[in-house]
Chain A
Amino acid sequence: MKILIVEDETGLRDSIEAYFTGGDSICETASDFTSALAKVSVYRYDCIILDLTLPHGNGLNIVKHLKENNHNDGVLIISAKDSLDDRLMGLDLGADDYLTKPFHLSELKSRVTAIVRRRSFNGSNNLKFNEIEIDLDAKAVKVKDIIVKFTRKEYSLLLYFIANKGKVVSKSAIAEHLWGDSIDIADNFDFIYSHIKNIRKKLVEAGGNDYIQAAYGMGYKFTDA
């Protein structure tokens, strides 16, 4: 997938670029409003990761520009402002999602993947990873055509891992993804392990492979390597 990262903070832009590059993804970057506008006027992207507060202009105007020109690139707004006004305006203008800074790169990746998947909708909204097949509409998981029952949190975690396959996902990121940021995350570290244990067990019992590796006590990595 082709992604444009519009972010003026160099450190953050580089990190996002490094995280997204590789696999089947190509990344381009823009550090201010003008260059971002120039890029979206010429090229099409599967998803644009867009910061709102940019030098020389407001990111919302880029969303407006896309809509006025009937470009349906996916747009994910990332902003330090957690204001509902901005969120609603962004989504009203046609953005697909809104993520408040600070965020984990894995969360960003999972949101971007979801946007791209929704946009490349081709008849069936199914996600396949080797022998695992997920019906995103019915939220049903099949392993080798056998339906495996997952709890809500396990299902969400499995999708999260697949979106971040090959990457080490930290426990903090997992906890924040599963429990949200209004709950003290440190309380939940112990429960991550039991959820992962359950996912592994269910996948293996259905005849699938164990793709989840523990990563040096820091987090987990979903990989078929």
Chain B
Amino acid sequence: MSTASPGPLLQVEAVSVRFGALLALSAVSLSIHRGEILAIIGPNGAGKTTLLNVISGFYHPHEGRILFEGRDRTRLSPPDVAALGVARTFQNVALFKGMSVLDNLMTGRLLKMGGHFLLDALWWGPAKRQELANRAFVERVIDFLEIQSIRKTPAGKLPYGLQKRVELGRALAAEPKLLLLDEPMAGMNVEEKEDMSRFILDVNGEFGTTIALIEHDMGVVMDITDRVVVLDYGRKIADGPPEQVRKDPVVLDAYLGASHG
């Protein structure tokens, strides 16, 4: 942490994204501060996932800038964003279904394995040693997420809740500075949600990982997040601590107001 530059970890500055005539994000600005858990909420179609895609490089904004650790990162591709230390999960679990849980987590370490991507196959000895070191780290993630019993199971065969947990594990394996979670608890039962909440809090607490997540379950949002950003129709309509946002009349209107049905 001592080497980190001052200021927010990530800044989104007046970012706009258009899909044809649809303005998915309209001059959205927000900061993600080091060490916090930030929730991005809003009604369906508010632009939450678009925002996550912009941050992780899957979309590039038509206007505005993205700064990561103070540097302009607006135009980077997803692999380059990942290389900076941003890991993410997807709304509809994107695991490598044919590969075992262990292999899925190992892919999360690909960036941590040094050396040139092309030459690596030729250097058998060092490659093997590296493999072992990375394997040790992945085993820690497996222990942390309590998925020892399924480490050899093909990811596609797991129930949905566990797939979400494995996907979180793959992101953690990359030791990210910023972890982006797109609806980490969607489709989960109460028990699974409690587990996932605990993991998110522990990741944040033990490793100091900064986390931004999209979530619909207001109970969860109020419980585990430090700050909440609310989007509606591609605009930011509120930004603040959960208790404050909850009482914000603009937010209440966005969720319950007549204009949205």
Note whether A and B form a binding pair.
Answer: no
Please give the residue numbers on chain B whose beta carbons come within 8 Å of chain A beta carbons, in ascending order: none
